[in-house]
Structure 1
């Protein structure tokens, strides 16, 4: 029998009285961090006091006694860190595994945009992620995908207009509309993207931006439409132009894009209050070897930022932007989310508390269960491939096709001319995108230069943003075999040569995430990279991450879609 309304009020009243009594010192607190030196994000200084916690909240700083007391002498206590924009799917593991990875690094809240899985499963993908993150010890907040598919050129698993996502705004963990990548449509006043902004504003929600290098009146139009932030600034001038027009700047430093060094001058008294940190995409090796938001803080301090400013940008500013008004600070009434470090120079995280519970102690994470996902969604996520068995003939196209020229260390490309054949000696390989959501039998074919493969083929179902199968090879038979193996795995990454897989990374959740532990996935991923490099892949690129972006037709110059090679600049197929 469900609790009555009166019962709920009475229970909350008792809890509130407990908080007040503990704050006033009339009752012992649940937890007291004694002799704490902590960052005060309001006065921008280090303060010294006991920090008292009751019912998961900070109830006061001063002199307190508690049922549990922990001496913090010689340590620094910080608010829990917040990632302002991330795609959880980029870690290639389940949300539970992601949380196990970032919690030891002091992250207690993330704001995710599930547009990767939404491009595969539509609204079922959003619901899957909401259920798979419910109750985790890192609070996972959501921004709803604004561009599914990313462009009308893509063939994704769904097309989501504003009506499709509208009901999700009522979910308590949905904060707004995620990165509006279609800035061209906004500036032009096109119906679909503008409708999504109007709907989000009708729900009084935030709207995040994605508009690299937008300037002048076009930028004015984009901001005037109601876009409040941007995480695509890669140079200082771009960031300041947006900040001067009222946008908040998410300083991004993740795996695919690292902008902190260019933007660290923003971490000053003049601009820092309009900034926050985000990672956007964070791959397994980076999470294991570098860390998460803590890595950005350490890097910012090393680049000359004031440690207190860096910490404030890592927690309080994002919480304030997203109206998460009870986190991001050490003050009465705020969540008792703490990160305990040794000092600002080494920045070694010793303990992490979530709502007053010690969840990480010197790198050891207290175990927690995986949230339950309803059987329909769990089964749906493991059945996302609808494509016939492929043969070499499916990739045998002899007409001249555009050559996508790769650039070392970048995801941008150049127009490298035309070819009508594979020429391994000149590093001209065949590339294709196979539609895998609805068995349309659409296969876009082109050529790729700069990848370096000398034998075999590489295929992956992580192919931004629609996540069709992208495959590159030295011959059509190996391309077909590698793509077929991806389907057999239910999704993943395959390096194929000599009639067999040389390495593979199964990604059975929607073809973009694994249900295995992060360490296992990372080991398989690194082994697959080694196998790809052994077959000649250019060491100046990531064999899979870089390949996955070759299918995203919003980045200049040439891309490959299910309909062929597309010139993003000219907006024409070549």
Structure 2
């Protein structure tokens, strides 16, 4: 810090010189004591200098609004919004989110180090503070075929970047438990930093293993018991409410005055249309309050707790020496945001970005547009041999969750092949390697998508992001695959062999340089198309589909190598007993 800056801040705090900005007539949320203070907020050079009675060169009347610290998303994959960080900022800032802890493992699975560098470059100098945790599992598991492999030596140089905080979600539990050498290298290198966990389905022994390895957080809790187990072992629990995984309602009852300081909020994966319609962490706060949580506790979880978890010592609170990132809230119960300030500058007003709308897209976004490399395919490539009387292992989806069930059942067949059936809600699914043109195709049967005479396909398929497609007719599946090859990745919906709608995502097959509102408009066309091919409208079909290829999530998933059983951590045949 410059000595002159420090002197000025102290002089403003003492009242010797006027502040740059004073916020008057506001109800300041004290997240340390969970109380409300009525006082002026004095700001100098983008930092809070004092709370009390102050004069300023500029004075803003808060008009009796509550003043909350800026919100922090403790774990987010920006790529899941389908827009680049520079566009993502324009969407979440008006919702009061001034800081995010992002894990770029989506783009890293496609582009490796180049993908991480892109996310750092595109998020440089934004009003939104974007910190990164380095992808720990690229690919997510040793048998996965992603676009890149990131070893510890590739990650080490990034730790020198000032916005890199540590190692992102550890998903390879067997690698940790069995002390795999590469995993040990990554954990040891990250020990001076922060380490996030991904403990889906872990029992008490598994939680012990993670905590002993230095893993400090988990965002995969889906029950109160899981949350309590992690809290009891010294971990932070991130309560997630995204587009696909909605865990807040189940977990909020586990939060009370004795443990709330170890609980945070995150979105993890949220589509742009949901961010625009619902919000981000502000939506989590509103839902938590509806579930009975004290509003001041909810604000503390969304601000101070996240800042303390990640060592952001100047964020998360309204106090002298803290960054002047704050929001004016008209109604605390409804958490209605009026204005958003970043470093003492108003950057969001009445739900709209102030002065951000015309910022141009960053320059490197077109550099990664050729990432879909798939050989020509025919219906024969999609056939699943199953004979009459045989039972098959079926992936059964759970609406609004990313876990699935393993269901063993008889399925319709014809000529020794599985036949999709809308009557039984059974469809065919394929994961096709798209990075290196290997021709690998994994096939499975999925229950619960509600498909009728159509298919949906995407190059968003966690975490290796191969091409994933599901449908009840081969011609629809092939048409969707061909569309994604043509547009360089994205989303596609087909019906009776014809394209209904598509959303091109030319940045690694995951994102676009278009504005968030333009993407939301395109997504609305995608959802209109989905209504024509699926009877299910109560959950996000594309987000659900995208997680059906993530093998580290129980119980049954599909990779480009075939059906994967998370319990045995091995590939298994579709036909049961083979």
Give the TM interval when normalised to the shorter protein. Answer: over 0.9
Bigger drift between 219-228 and 115-124 goes to 219-228
- Residue in 2 that maps onto 1:334: 322
- Residue in 2 that maps onto 1:387: 374
- Residue in 2 that maps onto 1:256: 244
After the TM superposition, which residues 26-41 of structure 1 pair with which residues of structure 2 at under 5 Å, given as runs? 26-41=16-31
Q: CA deviation at 1:243?
A: 0.9
Runs ≥4 residues deviating over 4 A: 369-375, 396-403
Alignment partner of 1:302 is 2:301 = no
- Residue in 2 that maps onto 1:5: none
8 Å CA contact 1:122–1:158 kept in 2: the answer is: yes
Say which SS state the counterpart of residue 331 (structure 2) adopts.
Answer: coil
Deviations 1:513-570, CA, capped at 9 Å, x for gaps: 1222222222322322232231245445532111112211123333221122223323
CA distance in 2, matches of 1:358, 1:427: 51
- Residue in 1 that maps onto 2:15: 25
8 Å CA contact 1:132–1:370 kept in 2: the answer is: no
Deviations 1:1-21, CA, capped at 9 Å, x for gaps: xxxxxxxx7xx2222222222
- Residue in 2 that maps onto 1:166: 156
After the TM superposition, which residues 130-209 of structure 1 pair with which residues of structure 2 at under 5 Å, given as runs? 130-201=120-191, 204-209=192-197
- Residue in 2 that maps onto 1:572: 571
Q: CA deviation at 1:93?
A: 1.4
After the TM superposition, which residues 262-411 of structure 1 pair with which residues of structure 2 at under 5 Å, given as runs? 262-368=250-356, 375=364, 378-396=365-383, 398=385, 402-409=392-399, 410-411=401-402
For the aligned residue pairs, the C-alpha RMSD in angstroms reads: 2.1
8 Å CA contact 1:131–1:371 kept in 2: the answer is: no
Say which SS state the counterpart of residue 544 (structure 1) adopts.
Answer: helix
- Residue in 1 that maps onto 2:70: 80
Alignment partner of 1:543 is 2:556 = no
Q: CA deviation at 1:266?
A: 4.2
- Residue in 1 that maps onto 2:110: 120
- Residue in 1 that maps onto 2:407: 415
Say which SS state the counterpart of residue 43 (structure 2) adopts.
Answer: strand
Unpaired runs of 5+ residues, structure 1, are 1-8
8 Å CA contact 1:131–1:372 kept in 2: the answer is: no
Unpaired runs of 5+ residues, structure 2, are 574-578
Q: Aligned pairs, how many? A: 560
- Residue in 1 that maps onto 2:451: 453
Distance 1:29 1:470, change over 3 A: same
Q: CA deviation at 1:502?
A: 0.7
Match of 1:514 among 512, 520, 523: 512
8 Å CA contact 2:396–2:407 kept in 1: the answer is: no
Distance 1:255 1:352, change over 3 A: same
Say which SS state the counterpart of residue 199 (structure 1) adopts.
Answer: helix
8 Å CA contact 1:408–1:541 kept in 2: the answer is: no
CA distance in 1, matches of 2:224, 2:434: 40
CA distance in 1, matches of 2:70, 2:80: 22
- Residue in 1 that maps onto 2:576: none
Match of 2:93 among 103, 109, 117: 103
CA distance in 1, matches of 2:361, 2:351: 26
CA distance in 2, matches of 1:351, 1:140: 20
Match of 2:53 among 60, 63, 66: 63
Distance 1:450 1:119, change over 3 A: same
CA distance in 1, matches of 2:427, 2:301: 45
Q: CA deviation at 1:371?
A: 7.8
CA distance in 1, matches of 2:276, 2:379: 39
Deviations 1:247-293, CA, capped at 9 Å, x for gaps: 11112122222222222234422101111111111112321221111
Q: CA deviation at 1:408?
A: 4.5
